[in-house]
């Protein structure tokens, strides 16, 4: 949600245990598949922590659809969100939606959209 209407790409970094120490066995597999489908995996070389960046070509309209869908199908996780965000300074190249494909996927460059 922090990325919505933000002009530059944000990076979200988490600790490995935040992905592996959950109450249901398929959490890690499902979370990583979802994250890698919608975002770019950019691990932090210094800390070794996994990190993801929003695809720079996603528009705010596409992010809105993604957030709406995620809210409808998400399972509640105890403890809420985790990790921290950093601004990469890289511009979002399609924030206004001028390059969106009519009737296309949310993000043609993303893996599972």
39 Cβ contact partners less than 8 Å away, ≥ 6 residues apart: 12, 52, 53, 54, 55, 110
pTM for the predicted model, two decimal places: 0.70
Tens of pLDDT along 66-83?
777 767 655 555 555 678
Q: What is the mean pLDDT of residues 90-107?
A: 79
Report pLDDT for 113: 43
Beta-bridge mates of residue 11: 53, 86
Residue 28 neighbours by CB distance under 10 Å:
15
Tens of pLDDT along 5-48?
999 999 988 877 766 676 666 777 777 777 777 788 887 778 88
């Amino acid at each position: 949600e922090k990325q919505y209407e933000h002009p530059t790409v944000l990076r979200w970094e988490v600790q490995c245990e935040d992905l592996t120490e959950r109450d249901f066995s398929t959490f890690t597999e499902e979370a990583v598949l979802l994250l890698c489908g919608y975002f770019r995996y950019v691990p932090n070389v210094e800390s070794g922590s996994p990190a993801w960046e929003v695809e720079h070509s996603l528009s705010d309209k596409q992010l809105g659809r993604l957030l709406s869908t995620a809210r409808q199908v998400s399972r509640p996780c105890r403890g809420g969100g985790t990790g921290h965000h950093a601004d990469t300074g890289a511009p979002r190249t399609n924030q206004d939606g001028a390059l969106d494909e009519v009737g296309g996927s949310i993000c043609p460059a993303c893996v599972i959209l």
